[in-house]
Amino acid sequence: MNIKKIKKIREGEFKSLLKNVPVAGDEEGIIKIYDRRFNLMGAEYWTAGFFNILDKIMKKGAVGILYNSGYEIGKIHFNWLKGIGIAAEEEFIGKYLGLLKFCGYGNINIASFDENRVVIVAESSPDGIEYKHIYKKKRKVCHYLKGILDGFLSSLLKKELTSEETKCVAAGDKCCEFVAKVK
Amino acid sequence: MKFTKQELKELEEIKEAFYRVLKGLDVLRPSKDGIISAFGRRLLLIDSETFAIPPELIGPIQNRVMYHLGLEAGEAIAKGLERKPKPIEKLKIIFKLLRRGGIKLLKDAKRTEVTKLPEIAFKCWGYAKYAGWSSPISTEIDLRSAKGDSFATTGPFEAYAKIKRGWKGKVACYFIAGTVTGLYRHWFGRKDIEGKETECRAKGDKHCHITIHPTVSR
């Protein structure tokens, strides 16, 4: 897997989306990226707030809910991009990271990639940054983003991957890091 | 009391003016680092289908959780829209508006400098339209009786997502009902207000309709 190539594709996709996709609701209040509907959410309630509510009610179950919701969306997005006609693995990953960047997730980089282990670094994960900003409690919180990436990569590699968040901005680290391994 | 036709027309002009201003400013455009921020808040574009979380994940309290999350969202949106830009920020906005839409867009911006209900609400509906939520209107906003409503003239994302994932026969927009309630709680300055979705496209209705009412009369 050529990591530099993935980054280049990510930037190309990001720029192409900026150029071609209007980030604004149409006359009916609908935003579409290609053929899928998207809507704008505040990161403070959608990431940190959601985790906080679930954490209060479900305790440890909160992590699973966010992770599984993200995993599901990651899988759906893989099938969506597959339907658009992308074939090469590098192109899949690069385009998806470009889409996530366009959606406001910031720069997400593949740090290393081999058959059974993938290391991913998120420079400005909204989950981590918003949690740190609002709740100040030091902990790893990027369960939703971790789920999205695992769901997408598992579908791509046709292997069940599961990540561990080894660094998190909300835990005091400079970035968020996910180490995904084959189950 | 419901708005007259004339009142509604004038309020809808505020909504459309704010929509045009946001579009003109292109506030949702991500930065070169992939960050979207507006009104002093970080924002994210979310795949609408995310709102069709399979019920087995959270369980029977799912609708309540989404409603409560919506309350937080409503409060955050209301506060964000009230935020006054710093003088230097305001100057930049004026230049940007002039560059992108000329005097016409600047007039639109002036028209949306509102301080009273229900103009504030319709300005917010302009934001909702821009943010891809749907194109809502209200037919009634009464501060004294703390009654109000929000009427989505096009399919809101939550009903859209749930219909797509097979939800039918019952109301679906719990997050949006919570958000509308959170907005009205902020605008009315009282917490004893609840919202309920009385009509929903997922139920087969033409529109999604959320009504707001006080839980106890004062």
Query: What structural domains does chain A harbor?
Result: 3-182 (3.30.1380.20)
Average pLDDT of the residues in B125-142: 95
| Residue type for position B73 | A
* Chain B residues with CB-CB distance to A27 below 8 A: 135
Name which of B192, B187, B196, B198 is nearest B214 in CA terms.
B192
Q: Cis link prior to A126 (omega < 30° from 0)?
A: no
Residues A39, B36: C-beta atoms closer than 8 Å: no
Query: Quick one: how far is CA B183 from the chain centroid?
Result: 8
Q: Is the ipTM, as predicted for this complex, more than 0.90?
A: yes
Residues 77-116 of A with CB under 8 A from B: 77, 100-107
Domain of residue B41, CATH code: 3.90.1520
Residue ranges, chain A, pLDDT below 70: none
Residues A54, B61: C-beta atoms closer than 8 Å: no
Chain B residue with minimum CA distance to A30: B132
pLDDT at B217 over 70: no
- Please check whether residue A1 touches B, CB under 8 A: no
Q: What residues does A119 pair with on adjacent strands?
A: A112, A179
pLDDT of residue A88: 84
Residues B46, A130: C-beta atoms closer than 8 Å: no
- Please check whether residue A7 touches B, CB under 8 A: no
Residues B69, A65: C-beta atoms closer than 8 Å: no
Alpha-carbon gap, residue A108 to A170, rounded angstroms: 17
Please indicate whether residue B147 or residue B58 has the higher confidence score (pLDDT). B147
Residues A126, B44: C-beta atoms closer than 8 Å: yes
Tokens, residue A170: 């909300």
Average pLDDT of the residues in B124-148: 94
Region class of A15: left (phi > 0), else alpha (psi between -120 and 50), else beta: alpha
Q: What residues does A117 pair with on adjacent strands?
A: A114, A181
Domain that holds residue B143: 5-214
Alpha-carbon gap, residue A104 to A88, rounded angstroms: 25
pLDDT of residue B56: 78
Residues B30, A126: C-beta atoms closer than 8 Å: no
Alpha-carbon gap, residue B161 to B73, rounded angstroms: 18
Label each residue of chain B as H, E or C.
Answer: CCCCHHHHHHHHHHHHHHHHHHHHHCCCCCCCCCCEEECCEEEEEEEHHHHCCCHHHHCCCHHHHHHHHHHHHHHHHHHHHHCCCCHHHHHHHHHHHHHHHHHHHHHHHHHCCCCCCCHHHHHHHHHHHHCCCCCEECCCEECCCCEEEEEECCCCHHHHHHHHCCCCCCCCCHHHHHHHHHHHHHHHCCCCEEEEEEECHHHCCCCEEEEEEECCCC
Residues A23, B29: C-beta atoms closer than 8 Å: yes
Write the pLDDT tens digit of every residue in B18-49.
Answer: 999 999 999 899 999 999 998 889 999 999 99
pLDDT of residue A85: 74
Q: Where are the beta strands (DSSP E) in chain A?
A: 31-33, 36-42, 108-114, 117-122, 161-167, 176-182
Alpha-carbon gap, residue B204 to B164, rounded angstroms: 13
pLDDT at B117 over 80: yes
Percent above pLDDT 70 for chain B = 99
Average pLDDT of the residues in B71-92: 92
pLDDT at B218 over 60: no
What distance in Å separates residue B71's CA from the closest CA in chain A? 9
What distance in Å separates residue A135's CA from the closest CA in chain B? 14
Chain B residue with minimum CA distance to A11: B32
Q: Where are the beta strands (DSSP E) in A82-160?
A: 108-114, 117-122
Chain B residue with minimum CA distance to A102: B34
The number of folded domains in chain B is 1
pLDDT of residue A84: 79
